[in-house]
Chains A and B, each alone.
Chain A
Amino acid sequence: MTGPVLLTTLFPGLVWAMAALALVQVWRRAALWRAGAAAPVAWLDGLAKLPRRYLVDVHHVVARDAYASRMHAVVAGGLLAASVLTALAILPPLAGSRIYWVLVALAFAVTAVGSFLVGARRYPEKQKRLSAGRFQILPFLLVAYAAGGTLTALLLALGGGGGVLAPLALLLAAAGGLGLAFEVRHGPMRHAAAGALHLVAHPRPGRFEGRPDTALQPLDLDAPRLGSEMPADFTWNRLLSYDACVSCGRCEIACPAFAAGQPLNPKRLIQDLVAGLSPAEPAYAGNPYPGGREAEGERGPLARLIGPDARIHPDTLWSCTTCRACVEECPMMIEHVDAVVSLRRHQTLERGALPEKAVGPVTDLRQAGEPGGRSLAARTDFAAGLDLPVLDGRDGVDVLLWLGEGAYDLRYGRTLRALVRLLRQANVDFAVLGAEERDTGDLARRLGDEATFQSLARANIATLARHRFGRIVTADPHALHALRNEYPAFGGHYTVMHHTAFLLELIRAGKLVPNRLEDVSVTYHDPCYLARYNGETEAPRAVLDAIGVSRREMGRSGRRAMCCGGGGGAPVSDVPGERRIPDLRMAQAAETGAGIVAVACPSCTAMLEGVPDRKAEIRDIAELLLQSVEAGR
C-alpha cells in the first residue's frame, strides 16, 4: 500500500505547492502595485462584499456573452472546487475515503470539460477580439491539470495507484497545475488573483451598490503633481485593476473610436498601462491601435507614459469620447475612463499639451465661461419671440430650466423652443438663469482641465445659491451629469431631471395630452451621459410610447448603446480616423428602417445631423412630443 499512501500525500501536496507558487507570484506582482500612490480602501467591507460583487455584478456583465459565461462557470468553478477538495485531502480521514476521491475526480472532470470550452475559443482559430501570446497556452495547461487530476483521483478512488500510471498522471497534473500557478505573475491566470483583489479594493465601490458611480473624482489642485504622468502616479489599486485585465477584448469591440479607426483600443490602452509599469511584461498579442503604432519609449514605474515618443501616443488619449462603453462591457470592472482622464489631466494641467484645436474652446471656457467665447446674455437668443422668464428678481420657481451649450446652436435652438412651448402648455412654473448661466465646465473636465472645471463649478454653485428653485430640468445630459453627479463634491446638491423624465411626469400627471402619431417609425439613440452615466433609459422610451409611434430598437441600445462621437471633447480634439463615429451610428440606425432617429442630447443632435447622406430625420423627443401634442389642434 505504499503507492496509494504516497500518492494521497503527493497529490494534495501538489495543490499546496501550487498555492504557494501562486502566492509567491502574486507577491512579486504586488511589489509593482506598491509603486502606486496611496488610496483609501475599505478592506473589511470589500472582503465581506466580494462574493456578492463577483456573483452578481461580474456575472451580470459576463453573462452578456452566453458562451463565455458558461465556459467560465464550468472551468473556474471546476478548477476551484477540484483544487480545494484535493488540498483538503491532506487530512487523513478524507484521504482514506474512496467516495471522496470519486468526488474529486468528478470536480476535475468538470474542469476538463471547461478546459475544452476554453480551447474551442482559440483553436483551430482564435476569436478575433481575444489576445494570443501566453493566452494560447492556457487551454493546454488547463487540460493537463484537469486530465492529470481526474486520472489521479480515479486511481485513488479505485484503490490502485501502485502502477506506472499513477506517477504519469500526477506528473501531468503537476505540469499543468504548476504552470497555471506560475502564470499568475505574467500570464492569463493573473486575472484571477488581481481580479479578486480588485473587486475587494475597487476604487469605485459605489458601482456595486446599484447606483451609477460615474462622477469623475475631484482632483486636489494643490497636489505636488497633477494627474498621471507615469504609472507610479496612479493609485495602487488602479495599478492592481489594470493587472486584472484578462484581454478579453470586449471593450475593444464596444469602443466607438476603435470602430472608427482612430488610434485608440481600450484593451491595448490598459495593457500599455500594465506593460508601462513592468518592463518584464511579455509582448502584447492582441489587436493593435488602429494605425498600428508600435509601443515605444521606456518602461517602469517612473517612465513617462504619454508622448509621441512614449508608450502611448497623445492621439490615443484624445480619441476617447469618454462614452464608458468599455467600462460597461468590462467583466473585470476596470475603469478605463478614469485612466484616460487622469492621463489627460497631466497633459493639460502640467504640460499645456491640449490638442491644438481644443485650445480655443478651453481658453474661452476659462475666460468667458462659454466654450464658443460668446456672450452669456446671447444664450437665450434662441427664444426670440417666445416668452422665456428669467429667474433673476423673481421670487423662486418650481423648475429651473438649465439651457446648456446647445442653446447657442441654431439647430438645437429648435429643440429648446419646443421644450419651452411644452412647459408653457403644461403650465409649469419655470425660469432660466439667463446671462447668469455659465457653462457647467463639462468639456474642460473631460479634457483634463480640472482647474477650469472647478472654477466654473464654484461660480455656478454660487449663482444657484442666490436663487430659489425646486429642481433643475435640462435637456443636456452632459450638464445633467455635471450638475447632478459632479457638483455635489463642490457643495452643490440639486435635484436634477432630464427633460425626457420631466416630460414623462407631465404626461402621467395629465398636464400634457399627446395625440398618437401612428404612422411614424422611430428609433431612439441613447445618449451615453444619460444611459450609461445615469442609468436612464426608460423615460425617453415611455414618452415615445405615449406618443404612440412605432418604436424600433437598434442592435446596440440602452446602456449598451454606441456613442455618437460627441462626448469627451472628441469633436474639438478631432483626431483623424478612417471613418466617422456618427456615420457608423447612423448606419446602425438605418438598419432599423426607422424614418426618424429620436435624440435627447444637443451633442447627439449635432453629431448625427452632421452625417451626410442621412436617410432618417433627427428629432429630439421634445420636438416629437410637441408635434403630437399639437396634432390634435
Chain B
Amino acid sequence: MKIAVLVSTGRHPVSGATVLSRLEAQAIRLAAGLGEPLGLHAGPEQAVLREALGQGLVRGEHIVVPDGVDPVPALAARLAATKPDLILAGRRGQGGDETGLVPYALAETLDLPLIPDVVAMASDDEAGTLRLDQSLGRGALRRVLVRGPLVVTIHPDAPAPFAYAYGQARRGTIVPLDAAPGTVEGTGPTVEERPYRRRPKLVKGAPTGGSAAERLKAATGEAGTAASGRLLVDPDPDEAAREILAHLRQIGVLAPPTRPSIP
C-alpha cells in the first residue's frame, strides 16, 4: 500500500519554534503500522521534513515552493502523479501559515473522499480495504470500512508519536523536487487572522439566564440533557446492565435491539 503523509511547517504552541506538528507525527506512526509511508512537504525549507524523518519516516519529498505561495496545486500535482492509496494529514493547523484546509482542498482537487478525525487504522482482511476508527468526540468511536484512494486526517487521540531519533533523521533521505509547471502561483484562500480569544463554552440545554449554581448544574450534568439520567442506588446487577444498555442505545453508541428483548 502506498501511503503519503503530508508534512507541514508547524509551530510549537508555547515556544513558537518551527516543529513537526504533533498530529502529523501521529499520522506517521499510524501509517508506519500499514507500510512504509512517504513524506510530502511543499514549502521553502526542508527542515521540518528532516524532523519527520527522525520520527518514523524513511523517505521524504520536498517540493520547493516559495514562502507565501499556496502549496495545494503543487501537492495535488505530485499526488496525482504518484497516486498513493492513502493520504494522511493532521486535522488542523498548528500556527504559522497553516490553515488546516489543505487536506480538504486536496481532496476536492483530486476528487477523493476525506475521512476526518481518525485514531486507528488497520488493513482489513479483504485486500485493499481499510478499517478506520474515527473519533466522534468524548471517547465515542465509529468504525468505517473504506477502499482507497482517500484522504484521512488524524485526531489527537491517536497513539502518541514515535520518539525523535537523531540518527534516523540523519539516515533518511529527502528528495528535492521542482514544483510541476504552473503550480507555483496564487496565495491560496485569503484568510483573516485574529488573535485567539477565549470564548465562553456553550452548554447545550443550559439555562441562558439563571444563577451560577443552575448553570453549574447544567454543566456538570444535573440538569439539561444529561439530567435525563437516573440514579440507581445499589441496584441489582441485571437491572443495572439493562439501564446501561438502554442509556447507550439512547445516546446512539449501541444499535437498537434487532428483536424485542425478553422481558
Contact B160–A368 (Cβ < 8 Å): no
Nearest-Cβ distance from residue B164 to partner chain A, whole angstroms? 6
B123 lies within 8 A of chain A by Cβ:
no
Contact B17–A350 (Cβ < 8 Å): no
Q: Which of B14, B162, B170 is in CB contact (< 8 Å) with A374?
A: B14
- Residues of B within 8 Å of A359, CB to CB, are 160-161, 163
Q: Please name the residue on chain B nearest to A372 by beta carbon.
A: B14
Tell me which residues from 86 to 119 in chain B have a Cβ below 8 Å from any Cβ of chain A: none
Nearest-Cβ distance from residue B222 to partner chain A, whole angstroms? 33
Nearest-Cβ distance from residue B211 to partner chain A, whole angstroms? 33
Q: Which of B12, B162, B167, B170 is in CB contact (< 8 Å) with A367?
A: B12
Contact A369–B15 (Cβ < 8 Å): yes
- Residues of A within 8 Å of B166, CB to CB, are 221, 226, 348-349, 449-452
* B interface bracket (residues with beta carbon within 8 Å of A): 10 to 19
A373-B14, A374-B14 given; A362·B163 CB < 8 A: yes
A351 lies within 8 A of chain B by Cβ:
yes
Q: Given contacts A348-B165, A362-B163, A449-B166, could you give 8 more A-B pairs where the C-beta distance is less than 8 Å?
A: A221-B166, A221-B170, A348-B163, A351-B167, A352-B55, A363-B161, A366-B164, A374-B14
B183 lies within 8 A of chain A by Cβ:
no
Contact A352–B15 (Cβ < 8 Å): no
Q: Please name the residue on chain A nearest to B15 by beta carbon.
A: A368
B19 lies within 8 A of chain A by Cβ:
yes
Tell me which residues from 19 to 53 in chain B have a Cβ below 8 Å from any Cβ of chain A: 19
- Residues of B within 8 Å of A349, CB to CB, are 165-167
B54 lies within 8 A of chain A by Cβ:
yes
Question: B residues engaging A (CB < 8 A)?
Answer: 12, 14-15, 17, 19, 54-56, 160-168, 170
A352-B55, A354-B163, A359-B163 given; A376·B15 CB < 8 A: yes
Contact A350–B167 (Cβ < 8 Å): yes
20 contacts between A and B (CB under 8 A): A221-B166, A225-B167, A226-B166, A348-B163, A348-B165, A350-B167, A351-B167, A352-B54, A352-B56, A352-B163, A356-B160, A359-B163, A360-B160, A363-B163, A367-B17, A368-B12, A368-B17, A375-B15, A376-B15, A451-B166
4 closest Cβ pairs, A-B complex: A352-B165, A451-B166, A350-B167, A368-B15
Q: Please name the residue on chain B nearest to A222 by beta carbon.
A: B170
| Bound CA–CA A249/B161 (angstroms) | 40
0/1 per residue, A432-476, Cβ < 8 Å to B?
Answer: 000000000000000001111000000000000000000000000
Nearest-Cβ distance from residue B228 to partner chain A, whole angstroms? 39
- Residues of A within 8 Å of B162, CB to CB, are 352
Contact A363–B14 (Cβ < 8 Å): no
A192 lies within 8 A of chain B by Cβ:
no
Nearest-Cβ distance from residue A63 to partner chain B, whole angstroms? 44
Q: Please name the residue on chain B nearest to A352 by beta carbon.
A: B165
| Bound CA–CA A449/B169 (angstroms) | 13
A353 lies within 8 A of chain B by Cβ:
yes
- Residues of A within 8 Å of B170, CB to CB, are 221
- Residues of A within 8 Å of B56, CB to CB, are 352
